[in-house]
Structure 1
């Protein structure tokens, strides 16, 4: 190991088959960028919610293949990483309109019938980088329980790692997305506050504000955005209110 003047400990990792000397204690993304890698693909939000930086990796201490979001996982000496920018999983076109006599649960199964072929190997759950019980929500879709499936898959980041490893060739992320959409459109109770917000957005007061924004040039919009009120990062939930409360329902 060599040390830099900044007291960083440097380790060796392999990314896409190439060795890189990187500082320890950093995420895969930031470590590789320190080593000069310029990401054009395979990086998105950097906050662990978009799934764009999914990768598979192995470490010398554990030969088991694992998956991770590279913006969240820290580098380990000897780590071997392969990014996965895209995987061609089944993605069916559909609208949220239901055919006559077809329930939302039945429609999801008609769109993704491969869900019925799950062999319960749990490889999808084991490989999920955000810890979702993928096999569990697949079973919920099979049973027609869209509410349970929507809740169980809610934190899915569409990274596709489960679909890559599935021996039954199920497109779990897309089936779960359809379950959430059809549950929200046809089963879930409507939220009163959202309807009030929609009605308010159509009011003359709000429409006048939109028209005023449309008349502004780019520099005016930029200055307005930079002067906006921003909720303090450390404020307790529900305690902060903006000075202008006219848009609050």
Structure 2
């Protein structure tokens, strides 16, 4: 069967992107559907360069009163879905000197006191497209349990959807970042393997490999990157 015949047999559904109806492949992700519809994604597609771009999306489904959240790169479209992407969620990042903070509740009280407005509604957890227990790490921050904050927030991609839904207007991802920084600065266990690897870098063990990579063209780098085994 030719490519044209395959395309003709491909099932399409209707989705509403920023209020306008489009026919898109039924098996597409939201990101794929947006591009199929002719839009150019200039934010939130960093995964194509090897890191998360946090493609935060909100959507509704036919006959469902709920506003749902997801990442456009992973969420599949559904017939009748109405969606809009969120380019960013405003958040005021606190300025602090990590050397002047202690790895306990005093740091949280000083830097992000808004966590104590948490009403434990769990809306942040329900909004998280990563399935993180967001409310739990905010409660841990209130207790000064920095290790728990680090552990529970470790996979956060900072899409901001929890902040968008939080009735207390807490900046959860920034609290998680502070927890990870405090843990890394004061509480982490020494890793012999990491120490050895850092020493190898400092001793120039990878200089030749680095020079080789820097000399490659963008196309050659791309080919080498996509040839790597991935999970």
Is TM > 0.5 for Structure 1 vs Structure 2? Answer: yes
CA contact (8 A) 2:94 2:111 kept: yes
What secondary structure does 1:62 align onto? coil
Distance in 2 between the 1:17 and 1:62 partners? 17
Q: Provide the aligned C-alpha RMSD in A.
A: 3.1
CA change 1:145–1:82 in 2 (3 A) is same
1:233 aligns to 2:214 (yes or no): no
Computing the radius of gyration from Cα coordinates, the structure with the larger value is 1
Match of 1:117 in 2: 117
Cα deviation for residue 228 of structure 1 reads: 6.8
CA contact (8 A) 1:48 1:72 kept: no
Q: How high is the TM-score relative to the length of structure 2?
A: 0.85
CA contact (8 A) 1:27 1:70 kept: yes
CA offsets 1:154-205 (integer angstroms, 9 cap, x no match): 11110100001111110000001110111111111121111111112222x5
Match of 1:206 in 2: 205
Match of 1:176 in 2: 176
Match of 2:41 in 1: 39
CA change 1:126–1:47 in 2 (3 A) is farther
Match of 1:97 in 2: 99
Match of 2:146 in 1: 146
CA contact (8 A) 2:128 2:134 kept: yes
Q: Matched residue pairs, number? A: 226
Cα deviation for residue 9 of structure 1 reads: 1.4
Match of 1:30 in 2: 32
Match of 1:221 in 2: 216
CA contact (8 A) 1:117 1:168 kept: yes
In structure 2, stretches of 5+ residues that fail to align are none
Higher mean C-alpha displacement, 75-84 vs 40-49: 40-49
1:128 aligns to 2:128 (yes or no): yes
Cα deviation for residue 47 of structure 1 reads: 9.6
CA change 1:206–1:46 in 2 (3 A) is closer
Distance in 2 between the 1:140 and 1:129 partners? 20
Cα deviation for residue 59 of structure 1 reads: 0.3
